[in-house]
Amino acid sequence: MKSDKRVLLGMSGGTDSSVAAMRLQEAGYEVTGVTFRFYEAGDKIGYLEDARALALKLGMKHIAYDARELFRSRIIRYFVEEYLRGRTPVPCTVCNNELKWALLAKIADEKGIYWISTGHYVRKVLSGGKYYIAPAADKDKDQTFFLWGLKQDILRRMLLPMGDITKNEARSYAAERGFGQVAAKKDSIGVCFCPLD
């Protein structure tokens, strides 16, 4: 299965995962996109529609995976409990290390897909027979902090197409391929269930 050129990509509907999809296809992978429904304020599902529309335009399979209850019980609950104890919770790190990548691997296994991917700005390196997270080319967008706790069973399967480019290059990449709307998307800032806008 490892030699298979199929990959399951976490697609948020934003610039980074959209460009990751394009880069993976360009590298010869058959990409299946999965959009996790972790948290939605009201009925705002524009991100889901954006991911579906991009997958359709790129000729990719796309699935939506409802993990809202799991997200509430594991991530939001953790955040609230830590905050009430006077600690500083870091929900994005917990989500990536304990939920998002684990779900990607689970769904990929169910579909017989070896490789898993996201639009994170991070690289991985092999040293002494083990994989490690390494800083991205874009120091301003580097997301190694959020993935520091991933285990070898996940790390060995990861493809990280955004690690060697900058955000500006990602925007240009999308625009040059006729995806102006993808190129112009705002960056998400802060915790998804505590939106700043």
Mean pLDDT of all residues in 106-133: 97
Q: Print the SS3 string covering the chain.
A: CCCCCEEEEECCCCHHHHHHHHHHHHCCCEEEEEEEECCCCCCCCHHHHHHHHHHHHHCCEEEEEECHHHHHHHHHHHHHHHHHCCCCCCHHHHHHHHHHHHHHHHHHHHCCCCEEECCCCCEEEEECCEEEEECCCCCCCCCHHHHCCCCHHHHCCEECCCCCCCHHHHHHHHHHCCCHHHHCCCCCCCCCCCCCC
Q: Is pTM beyond 0.85 here?
A: yes
Does position 93 have pLDDT exceeding 80, yes or no? Answer: yes
Domains of the chain: 6-119+165-183 (3.40.50.620)
Q: What is the model's pLDDT at position 192?
A: 82
List the catalytic residue out of 95, 99, 159, 170.
95
**Percent above pLDDT 90 for the chain:** 82
Q: Is 192 a catalytic residue?
A: yes
pLDDT digits (tens, 9 = 90+) for 1-59: 455 899 999 999 889 999 999 999 999 999 999 999 999 877 788 889 999 999 999 99
Q: Is 194 a catalytic residue?
A: no
